[in-house]
Structure 1
Amino acid sequence: MQLPDKFMEKMEGLLGDEYRAFLKSYEEDRALGLRINPLKAEPLEFVKNSPFLLEPVPWASEGFYYKAGQRPGKHPYHEAGVYYIQEPSAMAVVELLDPKPGEKILDLCAAPGGKTTHIAGKLKGDGFLLSNEIHPARAKILAQNVERMGISNAVVTNEDSQSLSLKFPEFFDRIVVDAPCSGEGMFRKDEAARLEWSPDHVAVCARRQNEILFHAAEMLKPGGTMVYSTCTFSPEENEQVMEGFLLSHPDFSIVDRGKRPGLSPGMALWSKTGSEELKKTYRIWPHKSEGEGHFLAVLKRGGEAGPERKRSCPSYLKDKSVWKEAEVFLKELLVKPEVFTDRKEYILFGEQLYLLPPEMIDLKGIKTVRPGLHMGTIKKNRFEPSHALALCLKKEDVLQWADIPSDHEDMMKYLKGQTLSAPFSWPARLEQKGWVLILTDGFSIGFGKLAAGILKNHYPKGLRWM
């Protein structure tokens, strides 16, 4: 692997005696990881029966290493959102954030969705998660991953940090700023990062990071917690960004989360002032741990949160007769339809029905990719449920289901969009014609529709296997 000459000169100057070990790490295969989705599976139980050989990531309770060649991204479990394939070092961010159910959380630079889906698992469906991505194409990928993982309480926006800060002053309990960076820690994985790297690029990234952090700070409640992270080694983007931020924000301090397995302390000597506080930050080094390069800092805002500000609410759907077909569907499919029918936070975008998180405020003027859980499409005299709704349901939630083993030929047929015909050789409860939740080994993966012994396929065309 050819590394940029100036990068190597810089790292040799920074690392001294450790440089040779650092350089040698680039000759080794990078670690591969996946993180179990607790909204779908209990991690330790899944590992016992996993089709993959998994070893725990020491700094992530739901994270595991897998071996090259196992290809978990090509397994039906991936389509069912049972796990998220994620670089192991990146899993440390949300572990340090430590989200709690019921909190309001912002993932400010969220695509493709690793941190967002990790946070959602920690929230357990209780709380409000705003996931933002400034680049439109990446925001769509983010929304797709939110859907795949069965997340019902997340909103996906496509905005810059300043626009959000004007809408959400002192709103969030916790914030993740996984800042755009020069990507030095990803050189083993990302050739584009190597080709784009230059000292000037590092300087540009540092300026952008300072701006993003400034706006993020405005959105954090007093007493709230923020994690700043990058996947780069440059002190200019890490310790020095933290140093400058703390000087300009005296109400913030670095939180000492103590020693963590696989995580090394930040390098105070690489800052401009040599502040000992910076030793409370963390680094992950590829020559010391099984993971790519990462920097992490946990910040606490001083003070205590005051009373909630009065904020404008979205314009919920007032005339529920508009969605009577959706209500009929819910009562026919669900064991407890009132879980949805008793909610009031519905909005209609054209024919598309969404259920918003209760904590949602009016996002007028904010580019919104996914305003909440997409329930489905309201058409004349019928309701067609969304794939997103299927993925957030469980077998015990529904009256009709079909549980197709992941290694059964019918699961391959389903993922390819083919119709399934009786007799069926897998567990199912199919008592009448209508909508059926399709599962694989107990994990929801989509919808089908039963009629006259035929299970019509409603797996989305854009997701079908070739």
Structure 2
Amino acid sequence: MQNHQFPANFIDSLSDEPGFDRVNFVEAHQNNEPPTSIRVNPFKKTTLKTDDQVPWCPEGFYLDTRPSFTFDPLFHAGSYYVQEASSMFIAHILKQIKPAEPVKILDLCAAPGGKSTLLNSAMTPDDLLVANEIIKTRVPILADNLSRWGTANTIVTNNDPKDFNRLHGFFDIILVDAPCSGSGMFRKDPAAMDEWSEANVNLCHQRQERILADIYPALTEDGYLIYSTCSYSHQENEDILDWLCTEFELETIRIPINVDWGIVETQSAEKKAWGYRFYPGKVKGEGLFVSCLKKKESSGNLISFKNNKNQKLVNTEFDLVKPYINDPANYYFFKMNDDWLAINQQHKESLNLLQHHLYIKKSGVRIGKLAGRDLVADHELALSTIVNKNAVAETELSYDDAILYLRRENLIINEAKKGWSLMTYQGQALGWAKLLPNRVNNYYPKELRILSQGPK
């Protein structure tokens, strides 16, 4: 039972919003707990599936109860992501619009990474994902979550939307999950009610216009803009669509939906742009607004840039690194300081260009450092889908030992093999350890270790 009071004037402000049902809405917030849902990683085999599937996302599943994810090794292995079900609808949109040929996708406001891993799940190695986070302190969690997801076709940046002005027509799809007044999260995060006001709604509207105007040139002609908020207010939703279609050459895209899903299909007042509203009580999820638009004009050509910031590679070092990677010919290897990294070969030019224009925090998969003729493998390589498991030893851990490992505590392993080993749980990699004759050196990253005491 939720006893939180809605902000003054909030319910009245929604009375004319499309599909709003006051009684149903209040009941859902006061008497219904938020559902728990996860989305499994298609690149890592897992049995974490239930019979209760999120209807608009084949990889999304509802859980009967909310477990302690911190104490599930498979969570740390990147076997799944804990994500609110309504936001998984973006996977359904992508399925409708993504062309067969390779695309470059930008997730502009990406942290903590739910929508980035969602987008990445629908991509092939030929596609490139740039996940950007504006707020510097939120970048590490975004990078960590993409590292857990394991693919090499991702780049994480920390830039203001206006910095993308220089990348004219670079992206084929841009997702702007815009900062908003947050009313769609009231049930999941009641503290957000204290921040809501009509003045803040109007302030968010202005910020959303500025962000969209800044990012617009980076979208290619005939490219798609996906716009979403976790707000119910028309000022942040349908009014933004009317502004977009007035200011720019954009065509609204109608996304097919099943009436049984409970999603409310809307159209903006002036330009009749299609939008999709999610209300708790009508859908098994939280509040969301999302829409899709197609750009029908060119913002000019991107100036090519050929210079390469990356260090020249030493072939003798390269020969030591290659055995650790599955199909190394498929990847472009480069060094940043002492670290070796790899990204899909087809994204080499894009990486070089983005390095020139943006502040990059993560590129592809960090492989590790060389110490003499040995590779000191990075945690990113352990969790990646590109690691060559034939080149490294594996040690399968019990649940209790996996938790000890994730706490970065001492392990006792009676294992004949000595040296570097990939520590796994139910076949999923957790990280590295070095097995020595009388002890185990635990190399799980200190900053990621489990600190809490465990479920009560």
Superposition TM-score tier, normalisation by shorter sequence: 0.7 to 0.9
2:284 matched residue in structure 1: 290
Cα-to-partner distance string for 1:30-66 (whole Å, 9 max, x where unaligned): 1111110112126xx542xxxxx56211111111111
The counterpart of 1:416, out of the listed 404, 407, 416, is 407
Kindly report the root-mean-square deviation, in angstroms, between the aligned alpha carbons of the 2 structures.
Answer: 2.8
Q: Residue deviations 1:182-231, cap 9 Å, x none?
A: 11100112234211111111011111111222233211111212211111
Q: Distance in 1 between matches of 2:62 and 2:365?
A: 31
The question of 1:108 aligning with 2:93 is answered no
1:174 counterpart residue number: 173
1:66 match? 63
Matched residues in 2 for 1:198 and 1:228: separation? 22
Could you report, residue by residue, the CA deviation over 1:305-339 in whole angstroms, capped at 9, with x for unpaired residues?
A: 99986333532321325x72x642543x55x5xx3
Q: Who is 1:255 aligned against? A: 253
Q: Who is 2:448 aligned against?
A: 463
Q: TM-score, normalised by structure 1?
A: 0.86
1:119/1:342 CA distance change after superposition, 3 Å: closer
User: Aligned equivalents of 2:440 and 2:19: distance in 1?
Assistant: 65
Does residue 355 (structure 1) correspond to residue 342 (structure 2)? The answer is: yes
Rounded to whole Å, the distance in 2 between the matches of 1:401 and 1:54 is 36
Which stretch shifts more, 411-420 or 239-248?
Answer: 411-420
Distance 1:6 1:114, change over 3 A: same
Q: Distance in 2 between matches of 1:411 and 1:126?
A: 34
Letter of the 1:299 partner, please give it: L
Gaps of at least 5 residues in structure 2 are 452-456
**Is 1:81 equivalent to 2:100 in the alignment?**
no
Instruction: Confirm or deny: 8 A CA contact 1:286 1:293 kept in the other structure.
Output: yes
The count of aligned residue pairs is 438
1:109, CA displacement in angstroms? Answer: 0.7
What stretches of structure 1 of length at least 5 have no aligned partner?
48-52, 425-429
1:364–1:380: structure 2 CA closer, same or farther, 3 Å change rule? farther
Q: TM-score by structure 2 length? A: 0.87
From 20, 40, 43, the counterpart of 1:39: 43
Cα distance between partner residues in 2 of 1:262 and 1:73: 31
Query: In 2, Cα distance between the equivalents of 1:446 and 1:288?
Result: 42
Letter of the structure 1 residue corresponding to residue 29 of structure 2:
Y
* Distance in 2 between residues matched to 1:191 and 1:317, nearest whole Å: 49
Cα offsets for 1:389-429 (capped at 9, x unmatched): 1100478633333252553x3222222224444424xxxxx
Matched with 1:136 is 136
Identity of aligned residues (%): 30
Aligned match of 1:436 in 403, 406, 421?
Answer: 421
1:148-159 aligned at under 5 Å gives the runs 148-159=148-159
1:288-327 aligned at under 5 Å gives the runs 288-302=282-296, 310-312=304-306, 314-320=308-314, 324=317, 327=319
Counterpart amino acid of residue 217 in structure 1: Y
Structure 2 Cα separation of the partners of residues 395 and 152 of structure 1: 11
Residues 459/13 of structure 1: CA separation in 2 closer, same or farther (3 Å cut): same
Distance 1:41 1:101 in 2: 26
